Amino acid sequence: MTRTHASRLALLLFALAATAPSAHAQWRGHREGGYAPIFAPDTLFDRGFVFCRLMYDRDRYERGGIGWETDYPYAELNFMSRVAELTTAVVSFEEPERPTHFVVRATDEALFRCPFIMASDTGTMHLSDAEVDGLRKYLLKGGFFWVDDFWGTAAWMQFSEEIGRVLPPREFPIVDIPLSDPIFQTPYVLPKMPQITSLQNWLRTGQTSERGADSEFPHLRAIRDHAGRVMVLMTHNTDVGDAWEREGDEYEFFFKFAHDGYALGINALIYMLAH
């Protein structure tokens, strides 16, 4: 990354770590799955950038996952706050210091007003035929879908089968993203694909691979349209959302994972806005 970009991110993270006990004390020990979804309105969003999370049903369970609610809502709140501070993107705020964020289903008309959608624990996701159709239309019309926090072979098989119903792999294959790709290079240079674990796993084991040898290597993968634009971004065997969600929860975890989590997140966002 450039010295200016690196310095800005480093200074921000230092400031966050220094103020975390007071600024985010109310967030400590928050329980995922305990927050009602904020659904997108029928009216148009304002002109600012909005984070949308995809709600889905699941037909299996993964250890440590809670379906679509995984990382909700503090991953989006923290991430979009830092996007507003570190980039020139105009982020929508529903009130001071609280970025606007919505939950959508793939059958909602509001989906097409979301600049991007994100989903976690997608190794458990099951889509109805109507959701497959809605998600396909969204992606082919220019939408961007980021899936995160799914680990190991079984989760990969589940998600790749579901996304294959949306975008048939013969026409839209899944490919690995090389380190030379702009997503790894702009504005922050990442020398490798980071493996970020959940805070719970880190405190319990001190390891980053949540499924042992079956999730040893993290991957950044994509499905591109015919013009080469990334439609679906997949962070497999890593939990980027926890690097955002857990601001203020635990110092060691924050210092180890926050830099790479925010760097990759902002790179992906910049890529999406440029394409």
> In the chain, pLDDT over 90 holds for what percent of residues?
77
Q: What is the pLDDT of residue 248?
A: 77
Cα separation, 159 vs 154, in Å, equals: 9
Reply yes or no on whether the pLDDT at 19 is more than 50: no
Domain of residue 176: give its range.
3-274
Stretch among 16-20, 54-58, 150-154 having the lowest mean pLDDT: 16-20
Distance CA 185, CA 266 (A): 11
- Separation of alpha carbons 78 and 58, rounded Å: 26
Q: How many domains does the chain have?
A: 1
The enclosing domain of 159 has a CATH number of 3.40.50.12140
pTM equals 0.91
Contact by Cβ (8 Å): 12, 85: yes
Q: Is the pLDDT reported for residue 79 higher than 50? A: yes
Least confident segment among 26-40, 188-202, 220-234, 260-274: 26-40
Query: Which among 59, 112, 264, 53 is positioned nearest to 179, based on CA atoms?
Result: 264
- pLDDT of 16 over the 70 cut: no
197 vs 131: CA distance, rounded Å: 29
Mean pLDDT of 210-237: 98
**In this predicted structure, what is the pLDDT of residue 275?**
84
pLDDT of residue 7: 55
For residue 4, pLDDT over 70 is answered with: no
User: What pLDDT, on a 0 to 100 scale, did the predictor assign at position 272?
Assistant: 93
pLDDT exceeds 70 at position 137: yes
pLDDT single digits (tens) 152-193: 999 999 999 999 999 999 999 999 999 999 999 999 999 999
Reported as a pLDDT band with limits 50, 70 and 90, residue 5 is low
Cα 249 off chain centre by: 19
Phi and psi at residue 265, in whole multiples of 5°?
Answer: -60, -45
